Amino acid sequence: MLRKIRSLALKNTRGVVVDIEADVSPGLPYFNIVGLADISVKEASERVRRAIRNSGFEYPKGRITVNLSPAYIHKRGSHFDLGIALGILSALQIITEDMESRILVGELSFDGSILPVTRLMPMLAAIVDDPSVEEILLAEENCREAFLMTRQTEKKLIPVKNLREAVSHISGEKKKPYETLFTADEQICREDFEDVRGHEEAKEAIMTAVAGKHNILMIGPPGTGKTMMARRIAGILPPMSLCEQIETAGIYSYAQMTVREDPVPARRPFRHVCSGVTRASLIGGGSIPLPGEVSFAHNGVLFIDEFLELGPGILEALRGPIEDREVRISRKGDTSVFPADFLLVGAANPCRCGYLGDDLHQCTCTQTEIDKYRNRLSGPLADRIDMCVEVNRISHENLKRKGGLSSDMMRENILRVRKIQSERGCISAAMTDKQIEKFCPVDAAGAEFMERAYDSFGISARRYSKILKVARTLADFEERQVIKTCDLAAAFHFTRLLKGGAKE
């Protein structure tokens, strides 16, 4: 009797349900898989044959045809093995139970063992809200990441070690569903902002950037602490929600990577990129599209060191992901969409030699070289950076001074502001024009200040909105509903080094 077995596949980055049908008919021994299967799927014939025999089941001697539908979706991967094997056993009446309420995912070894598979989380997204799916049979090693997807549903995860165990469960010898006290390893960052001496303005700017998710650029000579402060941002990020955990883990699962060797991340991603990065590794690409660093930083931080040393084409390629919060890659008529909602943190020297404005070293750049270097940051890209802060060399007296903002203090303030923004319904940097109009009331003095500034400095409309958004975050720290002149002045201060911003 022909029975449908259900498994999963990927169409670009989206999971889809695949029906597996196995037919055994008289004839010369032959195994054929149809339904737009690639070589990794067709190789299942050898794995399935030996797994069935070595598990003690009878293998049919006739003609075996396996259909994977829908046929228009390209099937890749070895995770169809378990479904194909159970489909054949069902056709032989070794399994008589209906299996349409089950999803089967797993690779088979020759001895019948069920091996873990990659890219599981984006595939499982196809059935999270499907009420017809009651059980998912898979390798025990895949259960932890699968549990993240199904923990808020009534679906049961059934870990099976081998083919015979899977058959026994389906035939009535029920296995206990996977259960765990779900805890994700947070791995608290041990680097503390309290160790950073004499850069209180930069620390306050970073705290504001993280609280409102404002993109920030740090400019200063080499060795002044830009990278040191950027690394410590990982320790002040707010925790991820369940939805954000699923999104983040899904990206790493699709790329066949793990986050800190754990498929279930608790801490927001922090990706450190240097100037030698290629466009494909930063944005994403490939013949089979894969996400880049902007997507691996989704829901977290993308730190680009030596920001202005990136090639002009690579710098400009950042404009799309920053604005759209996603990356679209088209190949052969199909489009893959990867999320890319990240906080951009850049670090750059003030000039090519790095010592413009430094008290201890003489800048060797000509004015033409300085202008050429700074022109790498185009106006449109600068408009997508909310804040800019100078990180200059500190005096010996400030170096000895202890105290200042610690990571704990900064995290506490950030969580307080994020709570205000959550109650408002939007984070500051993501506000639309209508939300700016609604949530950014400015007092009379502030309105006059903005009018004079707009006329005097010639700022762009996008920069004008960015200033209001940063001012909204600064006012949130003081828990003020109305934005004051001091908030607007501080926001202007953080744009003075950007094109289209306020100049001193």
116, amino acid identity: P
d(CA 451, CA 425): 28
Q: What is the 3-state secondary structure (H, E, C) of 170-218?
A: HHCCCCCCCCCCCCCCCCCCCCCHHHCCCCHHHHHHHHHHHHHCCCEEE
Q: What is the pLDDT of residue 503?
A: 42
| CA–CA–CA angle 351, 355, 358 (5° rounding) | 130
Please give the CATH number for the structural domain made up of 431-504.
1.10.8
Statement: residue 321 has pLDDT above 50: yes
Q: What is the pLDDT of residue 453?
A: 86
Place of tokens 């029920």: 174
d(CA 145, CA 142): 6
Q: What is the pLDDT of residue 256?
A: 83
Plot region of 484 (φ>0 → left; ψ -120 to 50 → alpha; else → beta) = beta
Q: What is the pLDDT of residue 101?
A: 96
Residues 6+ positions from 50 with CB-CB distance below 8 Å: 110
CATH architecture assignment, domain 194-423: 3-Layer(aba) Sandwich (3.40)
Statement: residue 105 has pLDDT above 70: yes
pLDDT band at 324 (very low <50, low <70, confident <90, very high): very high
Determine if the peptide bond prior to 238 is cis (ω within 30°).
no
Statement: residue 91 has pLDDT above 90: yes
> SS3 of 103, please?
strand
Q: What is the pLDDT of residue 188?
A: 57
Place of tokens 């949530």: 439
Q: What is the pLDDT of residue 450?
A: 92
Q: Would you say the C-alpha torsion 282, 284, 285, 290 has a positive or negative sign?
A: positive
Place of tokens 């704990």: 408
Q: Would you say the C-alpha torsion 250, 252, 258, 259 has a positive or negative sign?
A: negative
Q: What is the pLDDT of residue 331?
A: 85
Please give the CATH number for the structural domain made up of 4-171.
3.30.230.10
Question: Other C-beta atoms within 10 Å of 484: how many?
Answer: 18
d(CA 105, CA 123): 10
Question: pTM score, two decimals?
Answer: 0.90
pLDDT band at 258 (very low <50, low <70, confident <90, very high): low
Closest CA to 277 of 248, 254, 249, 303: 303
Q: What is the pLDDT of residue 263?
A: 60
Query: What would the mean pLDDT of 465-490 be, rounded to a whole number?
Result: 96
The domains spanning 4-171 and 431-504 adopt the same CATH topology: no
Would you kindly state where each structural domain of the chain is located, as residue ranges?
A: 4-171, 194-423, 431-504
> SS3 of 313, please?
helix
| 332-371: pLDDT as tens digits | 778 899 999 999 999 999 999 999 989 889 999 999 999 9
pLDDT band at 185 (very low <50, low <70, confident <90, very high): low
Residue 66 β-bridge partners: 22, 33
